[in-house]
Structure 1
Amino acid sequence: MARQSDTRARIQAVARELFAAQGVRETSLRQISDRLGLTKPALYYHFASREDLVRSIVQPMVDDLERFVAAREKTPARDAAGRRLLLEDYFELMWRHREVTVMVVRDLSTLADLDLTERMFDWRRRLTALLFGPEISAAQQIRATVALGGMSDCTVEYAHLPLEQVKDTAVEAAAAALGPATTP
């Protein structure tokens, strides 16, 4: 008999796949349970609702992003090498969570349903401050949006390519979008 954590992980894996392919709202719990050969009550044993299941899939990305930003805020480095390292590490983080990003992008209401929209904007603002410092011009905000958003898009659009091929090009383009580094 499978352990409870194994069953939860299997449910999450199938749900993640279906949510990414069809969208959260278009995927029923019946489809998930049928794909797994489980009854709906068995699925409900592990997850009280679809929102509970979705949250369990998205939460690791949320936790990783929060830890990433908080750790970087302790030791900001806005010189060229520090900015490049931040971009590389951010890309790798987003690459690890690219399936969840696809899921969320496919059904943007997921952000609102999980009350994540403001948190996402907050992370972007905090990362922008790490890249440029506390006094940020509109041009710098736009550059950071292009850099960070473009890298996130690349993790989804080019997920079929090897990590190294996508990462190197995406980070180089993001660094170019940021423009020359300035010291704090």
Structure 2
Amino acid sequence: MTADPGDDTRTRILRAALDLFAEHGYQRTSLRQIGERLRLTKAAILYHFPAKEHLLSALVEPLLVDLEALLDTAQTQPVEQARWTVLEGWVNVMLAHRRPLGMLFHDIALVGRGDTYHRLMEVAMRANDLIAGPDAGRRERVLATQAVAACSDPIVFFVDVSDEVLRADMLDGVRRLLTPAATDAAGPSGASTADRRRPGRPRALGREQVETARRMHAAGTHSVDAIAATLGVSRATVYRHLAPE
């Protein structure tokens, strides 16, 4: 199929805008600079994007589409499955859009001039609701909001860490945040009574963790090391539970 020249130009404009926004920031990048990089006139840029903020919205659009699809999937699942579908999927989506997400970190409020901001807020609220669960109280909703941040913010600040390592660290952190034994049983020092009784990594996995480990392994997106780091166990433990019963 022959590529549409109009679509090709639009894609080139978006790529150049992403590069220049990353180099100079949104506010300090002009449409003229984008045109000069592509040898296009400002009028040619405006034909595809009537205002500069439309470029920003277009760069956010693929991220939004992926997040909305993730939440649509999770919406059909039982509560506990939906919670971890959202959390694991959120990390994967954020990593898939790592470069534009980092570039837009300081400029994202500018999309508030259009519908994109409202979609971002709706996505965030839907994610919070699915993670917190039905009839959640204040504490559960606060934890849900913290969990979404734990699955997003490190991507912006740890730009030199590989996707696989960062994914494992982020999922490990959010599981620690939402695991009751790590919060409800914590003493004054912040360490749980279970941790004080049995230091080190647990030797076994719960049923839900086993299912998670097998799902991650079957998807082919996580190494055994990454699964072990995510669940806070040894590689040997992961191998034992991945073995056929």
TM-score above 0.5: yes
Q: 2:42 matched to which residue of 1?
A: 40
**Equivalent residue number for residue 113 of structure 1:** 113
Residue 101 (structure 2) aligns with: 101
**Cα distance per residue 1:71-113 (max 9 Å; x no partner):** 211114416xx64443221101111122332233212432312
CA 24–113 in structure 1, closer or farther in 2 if over 3 Å, else same: farther
The Cα of 1:14 is off from its aligned counterpart by: 1.4
CA distance in 1, matches of 2:132, 2:109: 31
* Aligned residues of 1:151 and 1:174 also touching (Cα < 8 A): yes
TM-score for the superposition, normalised by structure 1: 0.83
Q: Residues 118 and 7 from structure 1, CA distance in 2 versus in 1: closer, same or farther, beyond 3 angstroms?
A: closer
Aligned residues: 179
Between the two proteins, what is the percent identity of the paired residues? 32
The aligned counterpart of 1:52 is 54
Asked if 1 retains the 8 angstrom alpha-carbon contact of 2:31 and 2:52, the reply is: yes
Rg (Cα) greater in structure:
2
Opposite residue 47 of structure 1, the aligned amino acid is F
Partner of 2:170: 170
What letter corresponds to residue 110 of structure 1 in structure 2? L
Letter paired with 1:31: Q
- Report the CA distance shift for 1:20/1:139 in structure 2 as closer, same or farther (over 3 A): farther
Indicate conservation of the 8 Å contact 1:14/1:36, yes or no. yes
Take 1:137 and 1:121, find their aligned partners in 2: how far apart are those partners?
20
Asked whether the 8 Å contact 1:111–1:117 carries over to 2, the reply is yes
Aligned position for 2:8:
6
1:1-184 pair list within 5 angstroms: 3-78=5-80, 83-180=83-180
Q: Give 1:69 deviation, angstroms.
A: 1.0
Q: Which deviates the most, 101-110 or 55-64?
A: 101-110
Q: Deviations over 1:125-179 (max 9, x none)?
A: 3222222311112211221222211221112222332110000000110111123
Which structure shows the bigger proportion of residues in helix conformation? 1
- 1:68 is matched by which residue type in structure 2? L
More moved, 161-170 vs 98-107: 98-107
Q: Which runs of 4+ in 1 moved over 4 A?
A: none
After superposition, what is the alpha-carbon deviation per residue over 1:8-64, rounded to whole angstroms, capped at 9, x for unaligned? 112101111222343322211011111222221222233222122222211122222
Aligned AA for 1:172? D
Q: Give the residue type in structure 2 aligned to 1:109.
A: A
1:128/1:141 contact within 8 Å kept: yes
Distance in 2, matches of 1:122 and 1:41, equals 34
- What is the CA–CA distance in structure 2 between the aligned matches of 1:47 and 1:125, rounded to whole Å? 29
Q: Which runs of 5+ in 2 are unaligned?
A: 182-245
TM-score of the pair, normalised by structure 2: 0.65
